[in-house]
Amino acid sequence: MMISTGTDRAETREELSTTTYDLLVIGGGILGTSVTWMAAQAGLRVAMVDAGDFAGATSSASSKLVHGGLRYLQTGNVRLVAENHRERRALAADIAPHLVKPLTFLVPIYKGGPHGAAKLGAGVFLYSALSVFGDGMGRVITPHQALARVPALRAEGLRAAAVYGDHQMNDSRVAVMTVRAAVDAGATVLNHAEVVGLRRSGGTVTGAELRDRLEGAEFGVSARLVLNATGPWVDHLRRMEDPGAAPSIRLSKGAHLVLRRHEPWKAALTTPIDKYRVSFAIPWEDHLLLGTTDEAYDGDPADVRPTEADLTQILDEAGHAVRDTQLRREDITYAFAGLRVLPGGPGEVTAAKRETVVTRGAGGMLSVAGGKWTTYRHIGRTVLDTLAHLPGRPLGDDLADILPAVPLPGLASPDAVALRLWTDRERGARMDPLVARHLATHYGSIAFDLARLIREDPALGERIHPEGPDIWAQAVYARDREWAATVDDVVRRRTTLTVRGLDTPEVRARIAGLLG
């Protein structure tokens, strides 16, 4: 039997407006989703709403890495790197091995570059030591060995390359699976539901007034405690609570590009641009992901997008280590930008600490900002712990202990899932191996639910666009089980159509028809 994921919006609105929750989380990005998941595991009645889609803004505009953060060694933050490694390995081994996969990284060392081979060799050795050599030993290899792994690497002036191991993922899929995990644990969630006002009783914030952006309905949610986890919009909501609230954060824009790849890459590149900044070139979703930029942003968070200057900068910086033939503008399939939420204060955004900031407002609303994918579970637990120990104990005293390693739904070996999807049908009707592999690495064992849909309606096994592995069963499943309500929800965040540049007007129109 399939559990209902409550994708009937009217039903969910009814539930939200008639229940008094322990915790209302506003914002369904990395942070809000993680806290919601942890709070539900701790036995709280928790609701989460988002004005857009879950992970619809910056949380799906990341570098797609689950990483220890090699560059943090540069700033001497050894403890942070060790903590990141611990979480990275937990995600890859116990929580989401079906969604998080290992990836080798090379740091090319060029004549006249900012770092020498001895320094980088020592750096990657320390980096691998901090992960207890779980991904092999960081070491230095010859130019010849480096080119064998990444044929598109620039050979001129290449002296050596340092090698280390990290992991990567599809952030949108991890986000959707985490929302699903939270719902499985008892949370109530609704996307495309915008907060238009806060509820108060005697000066204390006790919930929110909302408007369903898709259906226009207005409703309210009551809660003992409200958590503002709206990322770049955190101060907007704080001013709703207290018009005189001083700014608590700064924003930094990070843009990325996705390009068609002309040959296989067996490793990713981390290229030093100067003493502190690096440029990534990462094989991802059969394409090449390049990024990122880091510059102060003070516009409307809703308007953030990559500019012509961003594209030029990213291609120029990638060009330090990648051949021009792999950096042609006509190969760009997609470009995106997100906003890093940094603690407020003076100084350059590039030097600002990437840390989570928790503040409590005049009306008792808690605001939390910051966070990153690698440590998102850890941050969720930390924030929940902060909520549990607030003065006056608004959540009460009876929070259950959270189990240390609750996996995301679909936990399975992607290789085993792909093999079974491929061999399950009679020879003539077998699933294309590329489609089987795609479903296995984006859904884990939930891919068998999609296979069931195809058995009931074989047309759902057809590709949405002939040049990509996404199939119609994914769009139906996104609509019925993954809260996808708009065309963008489907093409950008439930499938890989947009990333691959395959969300043509025709594809979008057919998906709009499917969504009704």
- 168-198: pLDDT as tens digits: 999 999 999 999 999 999 999 999 999 999 9
- Residue 471 covered by a domain: yes
- 243-297: pLDDT as tens digits: 999 998 999 999 999 999 989 999 999 999 987 789 999 999 999 999 999 999 9
Q: Can you tell me the distance from the alpha carbon of 395 to that of 226, in angstroms, rounded to the nearest whole number?
A: 11
**Please, which pLDDT band fits residue 348 given cuts at 50, 70 and 90?**
low
- Residue 69 covered by a domain: no
Last residue of a domain, one of 322, 339, 356: 339
Q: Check pLDDT > 70 for residue 17.
A: yes
* Whether residues 180 and 165 fall in one domain: no
Check whether the bond before 292 is cis (ω within 30° of 0): yes
Q: Can you tell me the distance from the alpha carbon of 109 to that of 500, in angstroms, rounded to the nearest whole number?
A: 31
Two structure tokens written together for 247? 């700014």
List of residues 6+ apart from 420 with CB closer than 8 A: 448
**Please, which pLDDT band fits residue 81 given cuts at 50, 70 and 90?**
confident
* Whether residues 105 and 122 fall in one domain: yes
* Whether residues 266 and 305 fall in one domain: yes
Q: Check pLDDT > 90 for residue 336.
A: yes
* Whether residues 450 and 303 fall in one domain: no
- Residue 79 covered by a domain: no
**Please, which pLDDT band fits residue 4 given cuts at 50, 70 and 90?**
very low
Q: Can you tell me the distance from the alpha carbon of 484 to that of 473, in angstroms, rounded to the nearest whole number?
A: 13
Question: Which CATH number fits the domain that encloses residue 304?
Answer: 3.30.9.10
Per-residue pLDDT, averaged over 8-37, amounts to: 96
Strand partners, 296: 252
Last residue of a domain, one of 301, 320, 339: 339
DSSP assignments along 79-147, one per residue = HHHHHHHHHHHHIIIII-TTT-EEEEEEEEEETT-SS-HHHHHHHHHHHHHHTTTBTB--EEE-HHHHH
* Whether residues 159 and 264 fall in one domain: yes
pLDDT for 6 equals 44
* Whether residues 217 and 321 fall in one domain: no
Question: Which CATH number fits the domain that encloses residue 381?
Answer: 3.50.50.60
> Are 311 and 273 spatial neighbours (Cβ–Cβ below 8 Å)?
no
> Are 269 and 281 spatial neighbours (Cβ–Cβ below 8 Å)?
yes
pLDDT for 1 equals 28
* Whether residues 361 and 419 fall in one domain: no
Q: Check pLDDT > 80 for residue 136.
A: no
Last residue of a domain, one of 339, 370, 401: 339
* Whether residues 382 and 469 fall in one domain: no
- Residue 47 covered by a domain: yes
* More confident position, 128 or 104: 104
Per-residue pLDDT, averaged over 394-419, amounts to: 92
* Whether residues 240 and 255 fall in one domain: no
- Residue 406 covered by a domain: no
Select from 29, 32, 31, 30 the least CA-distant residue to 46.
32
Pairing of β 20-26 and β 218-228: parallel
* More confident position, 119 or 306: 306
* More confident position, 132 or 180: 180
Calculate what percentage of the chain has a pLDDT beyond 70. 96
Residues spanned by the domain of 432: 414-515
* Whether residues 162 and 278 fall in one domain: yes
Total tally of structural domains belonging to the chain: 3
- What residue type is 356 in one-letter code? T
